[in-house]
Structures are given as C-alpha cells and as structure tokens.
Amino acid sequence: MFDTNVVVSALLFGGRLGWLPAAWTSRWVIPVVCRETVIELLRVMDKPKFRLDPTDRDAILADYLQSAETFSLPTPLPNLPVPCRDRDDDVFIHLAIAAAADALVTGDNDLLALRGVIPVRILTAAELQTEM
C-alpha cells in the first residue's frame, strides 16, 4: 500500500515515481485504500497548487481506484505498538495492518522512523522498485 504523497507524486508528476502507475495497472503491486485514505487523497488533490479541475481529478482518481483493493478500518481502532509522530499518518499503519499489506510504501520520515517497530514492512518507493 502507498501513502498519499507517494500516490499523488506518481499520478501527477511521474518523475522518479513514474513507474508506479504501470506497476499497479499491471497488478505487480496492488494499492490498498480505505474510506479515510481516499478522502485524504481527494483533499490533497484539491489543493490549488495542483490546478486540477474536478473532471480531471475524478478521472485520475478513478484510474487509480480501479487498481486498488478497498478495506474498512476496524472500529474501534486498536492501539498501535508505537503511534506515528504525525498522528494523521496512523491511518496508513492501521490500514496496512488491517489489510495484511506486504508493505507500506512511503517517503515520509515519520513513517520511515517506524521501521521494525510496527508489524508491517515500511519501504521507500525506490526500495520497492529494486525488489520488483
């Protein structure tokens, strides 16, 4: 699964993450989403700096979601062994655990700091690419 910044970078900018959309379209990797992470993705994509009109945003999001598996977060959320320094990122940890994801792919230092501390592998996109 991927955090919001990885998804937005891959979908809107390509660059060093330009390989990811092809990887999830071909099912080499499968994005995992939940209601909360999709809402976050929409919130970020609606930022004025991205200059996306709603039609373009919805088309980009629809393409991404076609490749994704959807899970629901458990309620109540279980306690994490160690919460993320940025509590807004806890949702990604909860989702990765609930979905039994192979890895959480991120460039976020707050999440990367939890490597080996939570029961989910945490990788950068570059590390994932070398594993493929």
- Number of separate domains in the chain: 1
Asked if residue 33 lies in contact with residue 68, where contact means CB atoms within 8 angstroms, the answer is: yes
Helix-strand-coil split of the chain, %, nearest 5: 55, 5, 40
Q: What is the pLDDT of residues 102-126, one digit of tens each?
A: 999 999 999 999 999 988 999 999 9
Q: What is the pLDDT of residues 66-98, one digit of tens each?
A: 999 999 998 888 887 777 777 788 899 999 999
Identify the CATH number of the domain in which residue 11 sits: 3.40.50
pLDDT tens-digit series, residues 12-45:
998 999 999 999 999 999 999 999 999 999 999 9
Q: Which domain holds residue 123?
A: 4-131
78: phi > 0 → left, psi -120 to 50 → alpha, else beta; which? beta
